[in-house]
Amino acid sequence: MNEQNNEQMNDQASETVTVRDAAFGQVNEFGSVTAHSERGNIHCLTIVGQIEGHMILPPDNKSTKYEHVMPMLAAIEESGDIDALLIILNTVGGDIEAGLGIAELIASMSKPTASLVLGGGHSIGVPLAVSASRSYIAPSAAMTVHPVRLNGMVIGVPQTFNYFQRIQERITEFVTTNSHISREKLLQLMLETGELANDVGSVIYGREAVACGLIDQLGGLSDALTYLHERIKSAREQKRERTQETSDAEQPIS
C-alpha cells in the first residue's frame, strides 16, 4: 500500500515538474506562458524591446519577432484550453507593418483580451496597447506618440509623402477606433513641437494616457487579471444558460 502511495506521489511530482519545465520553456523561447487555475486559463504574452519586422535586428537587441507572435495569436484563438489573453507591453516601437499587423490580430480575437503597459508603450506600441478589449497602464509607465518616421534613404518625390500620409492615417484610424481618444487630440499629441528635444510628438504618462482616453484604466497586473477572470466567468455562465435552454427544448412534451 505504501509503495502504491509512493508511486502515485512520484507520478504527481513528475507531472508537476513536466508542467513547470514546459512553462519555463515557453518563457525562455517565446516570452509567453499559460497560467492554469480553476477560474480560467490565461495566456500571458510579452511584447518587449523592439518589434522586429522584415529586417533582422542585431543579436544584442532585445526584440519581439512578428513571425512568432502572429501564429501564436492564431493558436490561442483556436485553443480550447485557453480562455483569455493578457498582453504585457514594454516596447520602444519598431516595424510599423509588423506592429500594426499584430495589433489587428489582437483586436479581431473573440476571446477576452487585456493589455498592460509597463515601463513604456512607445511608437507602434500605442496601437498594440489599445488593441485589447481592455487596456491598463501603470502610473509610472510612459507612451510616446509621434508621426510616422522612416530610417534610411528617402526619395524626395510627392508620392513618398503621400505614402507617409496614408500609413499615418491607417494608424490614426486604428487607434481612435480601438480607444476613447478623439482624432483631434491624437493628432495634437503627434504634432506637438515643444515636448521632445529633437523630435515631433509627445510623451504621456499613466494618468495622462487615461485622462485623454488613450488607455482605459490606470492599474496593474491584478486589475488586468481580475477583468479577464470576470469576462471568463460571464462567458461560462452564458454557455451554461445556452446549454440549459437547448436541453429544455429537446425534452419531450408529456
* Distant-in-sequence, close-in-space partners of 191: CB < 8 Å, separation ≥ 6: 147, 200, 201
CA distances from 150 to 124, 154, 161, 171 (A): 13, 8, 11, 15
Q: Is 146 a known active-site residue? A: yes
Q: Are 195 and 201 in contact (CB under 8 A)?
A: yes
Count of other CB atoms within 10 angstroms of residue 118: 17
CA distances from 84 to 11, 54, 95, 104 (A): 30, 29, 26, 17
* Distant-in-sequence, close-in-space partners of 23: CB < 8 Å, separation ≥ 6: 33, 34
Q: Is 202 a known active-site residue? A: no
Hey, what's the cell of 231?
Answer: 469576462
Q: Which residue out of 123, 135, 179, 202 is catalytically annotated?
A: 123
Q: Which residue out of 63, 146, 179, 202 is catalytically annotated?
A: 146
Task: Report, as residue numbers or ranges, the catalytic residues.
Answer: 123, 146
